[in-house]
Amino acid sequence: MAKIKYKRILLKLSGETFCRPGGFGIEGEPLESIAERIAKICKLGPEVAIVVGGGNFLRGETFSQKSHIPRNTADYMGMLATVINASALQETLEKLGQPTRVLSAIEVAAICEPFIRRRCLRHLGMGRVTILAGGTGNPFFSTDTCAALRAAELEVDVIIKATKVDGVYTDDPVKNPDAKMIESISYQDVLGKGLKVMDPAAVSLCRENNIPVIVLNIFKDGNITKAINGEKVGTLIS
């Protein structure tokens, strides 16, 4: 416990981490891989809150543009997708012996508790991973903004944005082989350069509350452990 730099962390998981690249829904192997990594970092001692996305099922904005469903309804559908992901992650973590609670911003009483800040802090203090579902509970806000909001509410030390890439690049590394990875960058530069690492509302919230963000590849062994220990990994936004 002495060597970890961050005592309370918020892990932001995109929906895409629940399936293979280009896949849809939830696939067993990526889900178990993520759960094992989370269970491992819990043993190091930090309190862990997780915000899950729902893009492996549905992205509200995109779905709305491609259908006759208005954006607000499509966003609520996306919030329900995050509850599905949260339930899957909870069951997988508990199979590994890690106590977990799902708290949702939208009420789904049969499978999760409502998000109440004090209740969430109590769960964290008792060593339970808290999985925060349902986004902010409002349409027109992304789960990145939810992560920044919850991080501020829960007074976390750092947000770890877990992705399938190694960090923030100067350009899309898939389309541009000359794109360079950025080791550290300011909130202002992320906003000014229009880097699509998090949406602007989320970056602004982190800047206002002075919450550092580490963007890293969750599927590389040891990455999250390095981040919690304060070692250089991925991209630091501060």
Q: What CATH number has the domain bearing residue 126? A: 3.40.1160.10
- Could you tell me if residue 1 is inside a domain? no
Strands 168-169 and 8-13 come out as unpaired
Q: pTM to 2 decimals?
A: 0.95
Both structure tokens of 123: 């769960």
Q: What angle do CA 206, 197, 224 make, to 5 degrees?
A: 80
For 153-171, b where at least 16 C-beta lie within 10 A, e where not — what string? Answer: bbebbbbbbbbebbbbbee
Q: What is the pLDDT along the chain (238 residues), one digit of tens a residue?
A: 457 999 999 999 999 999 998 899 999 999 999 999 999 999 999 999 999 999 999 999 999 999 999 999 999 999 999 999 999 999 999 999 999 999 999 999 999 999 999 999 999 999 999 999 999 999 999 999 999 999 999 999 999 999 888 999 988 887 888 889 999 999 999 999 988 889 999 999 999 999 999 999 988 989 999 999 999 999 999 9
What is the predicted pLDDT for the residue at 219?
87
The count of domains in the chain is 1
- Is residue 3 domain-resident? no
Is 208 domain-assigned?
yes
Q: Indicate whether 2 belongs to any domain.
A: no
Give the range of the structural domain holding residue 126, as residue numbers without chain letter.
8-237
DSSP conformation letters of 167-185: SEESS-TTT-TT--EESEE
Question: For residue 215, is it within any domain?
Answer: yes
